[in-house]
Each structure stands twice: as structure tokens, then as C-alpha cells.
A and B are shown apart, each in its own frame.
Chain A
């Protein structure tokens, strides 16, 4: 079975600084997809970034980028130039071949003005 682990329950970052959120996963599948979702206080899950396992290049979306280490089964999210609006719960998620998402327990990110 697939499992996703986020070992940092809480993180904080100064506005305009950079922060990295960690995620590891376990799977026996060779073809899969990884995502980071953001859940602000409104509870709406927002897709932040995705990574295809077959791609070696790390995904980037504006200030958000990932460090995908397939052999180590690691998938961290880097947020650059942090903004107050980045404050939220961040969930790492694994999309299985059966098309269901397995989520980590989340990391609560606080942005300090």
C-alpha cells in the first residue's frame, strides 16, 4: 500500500524568505504522480504543483518548486519569496494507478510579517 509521510507538523517562515516542506512516500508502483495541495482556512484544497515520476526534471510553478528524488522517494516543496497568503496547511499527495490520492498528514505553514 502507498503511504505518504510529512514529518513536519508545523513550519514558519519570515515574509520574503524561502522555506522547504518535506515529504517522503512509499510505493511499489513504477508509474505515479505526486502533488502538493494547499488548504487555507477556508478549507478549499488548492492544487499547487505536480510532478510526474517518469520526469527527471523538477517541476516549477512561479515561486513554488519541488525537489523530486525518486530513488530516495522524497518530494519536497520549496516556496520562495514567501507571502502572507502562503499561510495554510500543505498536503503532499500521491496519485496511485487506481486514480485515488493518498495524502500525508499535512504541514501547517505560518508566514511571519
Chain B
């Protein structure tokens, strides 16, 4: 069974631009969660999508948004990029029931100049 895939793997953007990241979950998984990893803040939860609905949200500004499609693929969008948005963005998929294991993709490394 194929693992979680994320595209693109690397991105360089400038301040003020917007960016869209994509995540394809493991086949059969209906939940996709997004996490931001930075040296200063560590790993932080952004949001979770389940059956095309945002089910849970972390403490991030409204510039961070996402959506999920009927095939469970998810996209994350960051508008008006700031230098501090430079990070590794990880997505994880699971079946979506409480306690299910979350499996991570390889991440998208975003650099904002």
C-alpha cells in the first residue's frame, strides 16, 4: 500500500505571496491532519480534515486554510506569506477514528524570502 505523499517537496516563495501544498493520504484513510515544524516552535498542529470537513483546528492565524476533496486528498493554503512561515509542513493520514495511528508524509519544506 502506498504511503502518504506530499507535493511539492520544496518551495521557495517571497513575502506576501501565497502557496498551496498538497497531501494524498494512504488509500482508505479519510482523515488528513497538517502540522508545522520549525526549530523554534517544534511540531504544531494546524488542522484536521475528515470527510471534506474541517473537524479540528489549531492556534494559527486565518492566513492558514485548507480543504479536503471527495477522494480524501487535502490541500493547505497559506496567504500573505511571512518570513516566519518558513517551515517543514507535514501531513498525516489516518482512518479518522479516535486513537487511530497517524502516518506522516515526507513533508514540504517551505522557505520564505
What does the 1/0 interface line of A2-29 toward B look like (CB < 8 Å)?
A: 0000000000000000000000000000
- Report Cα–Cα, A99/B50, bound state, in Å: 11
Name the one of A33, A42, A106 contacting B106, with C-beta atoms under 8 angstroms: A42
A88-108 CB contacts (< 8 Å) to partner B: 91, 95, 97-106
Closest B residue to A33 by CB, please name it. Answer: B99
User: Are B42 and A101 in contact, CB atoms less than 8 angstroms apart?
Assistant: no
User: Are A43 and B33 in contact, CB atoms less than 8 angstroms apart?
Assistant: no
Name the one of A91, A99, A104 contacting B96, with C-beta atoms under 8 angstroms: A99
User: Given the complex, which residues of B lie within 8 Å of A50, measured CB to CB?
Assistant: 101
Interface of B is mostly: strand
Q: How far is the CB of B39 from chain A (nearest CB, A)?
A: 10
Closest A residue to B96 by CB, please name it. Answer: A99
User: Given the complex, which residues of B lie within 8 Å of A31, measured CB to CB?
Assistant: 98
Closest A residue to B88 by CB, please name it. Answer: A43
Interface size bracket, A side: 20 to 34
Name the one of A43, A44, A95 contacting B99, with C-beta atoms under 8 angstroms: A95
User: Given the complex, which residues of A lie within 8 Å of B109, measured CB to CB?
Assistant: 43
- Report Cα–Cα, A47/B100, bound state, in Å: 12
A50-B101, A98-B56, A99-B55 known; A43+B48 contact, CB < 8 A: no
- Report Cα–Cα, A104/B43, bound state, in Å: 8
User: Given the complex, which residues of B lie within 8 Å of A101, measured CB to CB?
Assistant: 33, 35, 43, 45, 92, 102
- Report Cα–Cα, A44/B35, bound state, in Å: 13
Q: Is residue A86 contacting chain B, with contact meaning CB distance below 8 A?
A: no
A44-B107, A50-B101 known; A100+B56 contact, CB < 8 A: yes
User: Are A45 and B33 in contact, CB atoms less than 8 angstroms apart?
Assistant: no
- B residues sitting closer than 8 Å to A (CB atoms) are 31, 33, 35, 42-43, 45, 48, 55-56, 58, 88, 90, 92, 94, 96, 98-107, 109
